[in-house]
Amino acid sequence: MFRSQKSLVIRVLALVVALLVASACGSSDDAADTTTAEETTAATTEPAPEESATEVEAESTDVPEPTAVPEPTAVPEPTAVPEPTAVPEPTAEPEPTQIRLAFVPATTGLLVNVAQEQGFFAENNLDVELTPTANISAVIPTLGQQLEISLGTSTDLIRAADSGLDIVQILGNTIDTEDNPFVRVVVPADSGIEGVTDLAGKRVSSPTLSGVIHVATLYWAQQEGIDPASIEGVQVPPPATVDQFKAGQVDAAEALEPFASALVGMGNTSIGDPFASIGLPLATNFWVANGEWATNNPDAVAGFAAALAQAQAFVESNEEDARAVLQGYTGMPDPVAVSVSLPTFDLDIRTDDLGRWVDVLVALNQFEGEIDVNELVLAG
């Protein structure tokens, strides 16, 4: 029995050892598995190595700063649409200024007749009525009443102002020069008259006795020692000069063109130019008007000056046509029309010449007052 119990103990111990061995092997495997899992977890959860500061800074440098978002541009206010411009009504052309003008039918009237025939007056908005007259001294007082403009001379203008008339020079016309004398004193070839000193006691015709031509002849005689009163003046209209001379009604003639050329062409003799005694060049005639009318009608005065400037240019470039105009209003024959000397035109106002004429009148005792020649021309 003892032996049976001892065998049972041995078996029990063997079983216990076996169980312990089996238990130990199982625990070893579990531990290995546990270790492996922990290493795997540690490898997975191990933090990444930290980047160096230099590498971080480099990477930060490469990253651009964010661009500032621009402020939204303000939308401009819509431009106001301009109101449509009203189309102006067409301006009516002003009515042309009517001018009644007196002139002498000689070469001195060439410019106004050319301006009329060539339409230069109309181009400058002027409606001009030309009136020929033999004695311009007689028409000067009618300016502002029956006429607006007239041909005039220095003596006419000075006397008109001295008598209280409102007359002014508005434009020049012709001047006398040494090369182109405006007037000549003509005598018969067999008269025995050789110079101005031989005119004492003689009858001398003149367009007007108060005009510049006769005054110049008297002054010339005075300068040569002859009493001006010894010369008898006879007023003869220019167109009648040749007939009066041929008829023996006068001993000498103060002739302007074209009559001077006509007389010389007949074989008569010129003894000289009376204007030379005053000094050349010298204004011989010009255009005058009533002072109030001229002041109130500056456009008309300017238009008149422009038209005559056009006429002067026409005469200088179209002499043949100009001579045809001259023949038309003077009625001169063909031989005279093609050969007569045309005047030297000068549209400037020569105020100094007016002063010389004042001295001439004073020397001849035909003027005693004092006068400011600047007041005898249109201001401006």
pLDDT tens by residue, 181-208: 999 999 999 999 999 999 999 999 999 9
Q: In the predicted model, what is the mean pLDDT of residues 276-286?
A: 97
Confidence class for position 92, pLDDT limits 50, 70, 90: confident
pLDDT computed for residue 15 by the predictor: 58
b (16+ CB within 10 A) / e for 288-314:
bbbbebbeebeebbebbbbbbbbbbeb
For residue 268, give every residue at least 6 positions away whose Cβ sits within 8 Å of its Cβ, in sequence order, or none: 186, 187, 188, 189, 245
Confidence class for position 54, pLDDT limits 50, 70, 90: very low
- Domains of the chain, by residue range, sit at 97-177+281-376, 183-277
pLDDT computed for residue 27 by the predictor: 43
Confidence class for position 329, pLDDT limits 50, 70, 90: very high
Instruction: Tell me, yes or no, if the two domains 97-177+281-376 and 183-277 fold the same way.
Output: yes
83 or 137: which carries more pLDDT confidence? 137
pLDDT at 273 over 70: yes
Picking from 70, 127, 68, the residue whose alpha carbon sits closest to that of residue 96 is 127
Q: Facing residues of 232 across strands? A: 203
Confidence class for position 261, pLDDT limits 50, 70, 90: confident
Q: How far apart are CA 197 and CA 168, in angstroms?
A: 36
| Cis check: omega of the bond before 96, within 30 degrees of 0 | no
pLDDT computed for residue 93 by the predictor: 77
The structure tokens listed for 259 are 């009559």
pLDDT at 77 over 80: no
pLDDT computed for residue 33 by the predictor: 42
Q: In the predicted model, what is the mean pLDDT of residues 37-53?
A: 39
pLDDT computed for residue 275 by the predictor: 98
Q: How far apart are CA 139 and CA 166, in angstroms?
A: 14
Q: How far apart are CA 246 and CA 218, in angstroms?
A: 23
b (16+ CB within 10 A) / e for 331-357:
ebeeebbeebebbebbbebbeebbeeb
The structure tokens listed for 86 are 């009203």
Length in residues, the chain: 380
pLDDT computed for residue 234 by the predictor: 96
Residue type, 226: I
Confidence class for position 72, pLDDT limits 50, 70, 90: low
Average pLDDT, the chain: 84
Q: Give percent of the chain with pLDDT exceeding 70.
A: 76
47 or 150: which carries more pLDDT confidence? 150
Q: In the predicted model, what is the mean pLDDT of residues 1-9?
A: 49
Picking from 342, 315, 334, 368, the residue whose alpha carbon sits closest to that of residue 120 is 315
pLDDT computed for residue 74 by the predictor: 57
Q: How far apart are CA 27 and CA 41, in angstroms?
A: 21
Q: From the options 3.50.50.60, 3.40.190.10, 3.90.1150.10, 3.30.830.10, give the CATH code of 183-277.
A: 3.40.190.10
Residue type, 225: G
Domain 97-177+281-376 listed as CATH 3.50.50.60: no
Q: Give percent of the chain with pLDDT exceeding 90.
A: 66
